[in-house]
Structure 1
Amino acid sequence: MSRVNTVLGSVPTEELGAVAVHEHIGYGMPGSELDTQWWKTPEERYAETVPKLRRFREYGGGTFVDVTGICNGRDVDYYKSLSAKTGVHIVACTGFVGGDTALPHFARATVDYLTRHFVHEITVGIADTGSRAGVIKVGVSRGGRMTELDKRIYRAAARASVATGVPILTHLAIDPQPAVDIFEEEGLPLHRVLFGHADDGPNAPNTPHEWIFERGGRIGFDTFGYETELEDPPFWARPRQERLDHFLSLVNKGYLDQLLVSADANCSPLGWPGVKGHTVNYLFTDLIPDLREAGVDDATIKTLLEDNPADFLTIRN
């Protein structure tokens, strides 16, 4: 039986339901717990987060994939309590949002050390939580080009993925050639990689979508809802219709089975204000109605929110 690691144990893939594949319970940069302006008590974070997850469940959401990497506020015991409280499956990650978010202990580590660490979190557990990671997060440091540290992390992630059967999800899909080279050198099939943030404003023009598809990779349109129409849009925002048209053009070209969608929202941001008016539930309140209005049928929507992420997250070993 195919299975996926969640914070409350492995579950059959068939039980995932609709999946938000690139989200955050709470993301912050290292040191955000020392912030004085945006610091929140655990009670405040809980009060912000539980209603969003309950609403996600009410809309038909089944699984929330938290891709908050090591050093960025990942709190697996907290995720376990949220999952038990709301009935939402939560998948935790190992890995890093980008090399520049890795604290010195990890930044100085060898590929072999990082590989062992990722494998341990996938097969044994994260710290003493007893919960195993279900996806590996990697990313490109600021500047838009992979650093030597990024490359070490990517190589370790590839080795851990091959060893455990858990997939890789990237933060940003720009500069993919070095990443693809590493994955191929390590024998990792590209259908086990989801190249993320291929749709945001700054990076969509620089992402070679069809080049990635042709090599078997998957692409994440996972910043849905970050729109220039927001009251105070972030720098990575994009006009709503432009993103939708871009996405539909790839569906119409026959790439449906290699596309995944998400909102990359923070339930309760750590050390920064977050983006007002944007939550994981954009997928249900806005994206699905937009797709239907554009003529997308329910079978295609099911493929995007259920079938594709289930196939991606399934442990293959």
Structure 2
Amino acid sequence: MATVQTVNGEVECAELGRVLMHEHVFVQNHEFQVNYPETWDDEARTDDAVRKFVDLKASGIDTIVDLTVLGLGRDIRRVQAVAERSPVRIIAATGYYTFADLPTHLRVRGPGRMFGGEEPLLEMFVRDITEGIAGTGIRAGILKCVTDAPGVTPDVERILRSVARAHLQTGVPISTHTDAIAERGLDQQRIFLEEGVDLGRVVIGHSGDTEDLDYLQRLIDAGSYVGMDRFGLDGFMTFEKRVATVAALVERGYASRIVLSHDTSCHSANVPDEYREKNWPNWQFLHITEDVVPALLEAGVTSEQIVTMLEDNPREIFSGASSD
């Protein structure tokens, strides 16, 4: 039986239940918190996260994938403190988040770099998956990488290729961040194919930020899943357009290649809580179960297709199976 690593240990993929495939527990800036400690209350933030996940479980969601990696302030011990009290399973990720450049200490190391040596990114990612993160023994269950508006910069390409090679060594799936308007998912697929990755093990993230069905169909026809995973970010694209895009893809026969999520968090240092509440009130964990699923059903998506997107596809992504 195929298994997946969660923050609380290994579980069978068949037990994942309903899964939100692209979320975050905490997006942090540790340097800022260390120098201005009054900006972070660990106990209050942990309690708040647990409350949110208790409500999420009650809404019918069983598992989230926390795609917080280096560059977004991953702190696995803080996530562990939440997971120990959360009824929702949390799957941790490894990888690196940057739109353009790596920090200097990584940029100057590796093949062809100032100080040479082996590629440090690959070693980091594989160790997180096979041994555990930060000495905790908590193993990452998925890889994360980013290609945004700046495109495939030299450092972004290093990350993409290291993620691909870590995937080939460990077998864990890949999930990405993209700028869908710039069609960056195609760049990612090209590099992954050059590295020998089966695109059926890849989720091209933030694909729901575009209505371009031809672009989305190209990603799917190449083998990848598409992440319709920013529900609630209505300032990027309206709720109605996001729902209509998913419904149109389902009508084309692609329910088996779609996953749903919000890309939200219990707390983000990058988005003030008061701004989120005022401008993006739907950008919270209950939006899919309370609003999106009913709207998709009204748009003609069947209950069985909802199960496919929220249960079957995540299980197959982590197990390496395919519904096709």
TM-score by length of 2: 0.87
Aligned runs of 1:1-317 on 2, under 5 Å?
1-28=1-28, 31-33=31-33, 39-100=39-100, 102-110=102-110, 112-141=119-148, 143-172=149-178, 173=180, 174-200=183-209, 205=212, 208-228=215-235, 237-274=236-273, 275-276=276-277, 277=281, 278-314=283-319
Matched position secondary structure for 1:241: helix
Q: Residues 170-202 of structure 1: CA distance to partner in whole angstroms, max 9, x if unpaired? A: 1115323332222112111101110000112xx
Cα distance change on mapping 1:123 and 1:156 into 2, 3 Å: same
* Number of residue equivalences: 305
Give the counterpart letter for 1:310 in structure 2.
Answer: R
**Root-mean-square deviation over aligned CA pairs:** 2.3
Cα distance change on mapping 1:51 and 1:117 into 2, 3 Å: same
How far, CA to CA, are the matches of 1:42 and 1:271 in structure 2? 17
Greater shift in the superposed pair: 66-75 or 27-36: 27-36
Query: Per-residue deviation at 1:38?
Result: 8.8
Unaligned runs of 5+ in 1: 229-236
Greater shift in the superposed pair: 306-315 or 247-256: 306-315
Matched position secondary structure for 2:254: helix
Cα distance change on mapping 1:99 and 1:227 into 2, 3 Å: closer
Which position in structure 1 is the counterpart of 2:114?
none
Matched position secondary structure for 1:238: coil
How far, CA to CA, are the matches of 1:35 and 1:264 in structure 2? 28
Matched position secondary structure for 1:61: coil
How far, CA to CA, are the matches of 1:21 and 1:105 in structure 2? 31
Query: Per-residue deviation at 1:303?
Result: 0.6
Give the counterpart letter for 2:218 in structure 1.
Answer: W
Matched position secondary structure for 2:246: helix
Higher relative contact order (CA 8 A, sep 6+): 1
How far, CA to CA, are the matches of 1:36 and 1:286 in structure 2? 38
Q: Does structure 2 conserve the Cα–Cα contact (< 8 Å) formed by 1:69 and 1:93?
A: yes
Cα distance change on mapping 1:176 and 1:289 into 2, 3 Å: closer
Query: Per-residue deviation at 1:295?
Result: 2.8
Unaligned runs of 5+ in 2: 112-118
Give the counterpart letter for 2:220 in structure 1.
Answer: F
Query: Per-residue deviation at 1:315?
Result: 5.9
Matched position secondary structure for 2:72: coil
Matched position secondary structure for 2:10: strand
Q: Residues 230-275 of structure 1: CA distance to partner in whole angstroms, max 9, x if unpaired? A: xxxxxxx211111111111111111111111101111111253142
Greater shift in the superposed pair: 182-191 or 269-278: 269-278
How far, CA to CA, are the matches of 1:98 and 1:42 in structure 2? 26
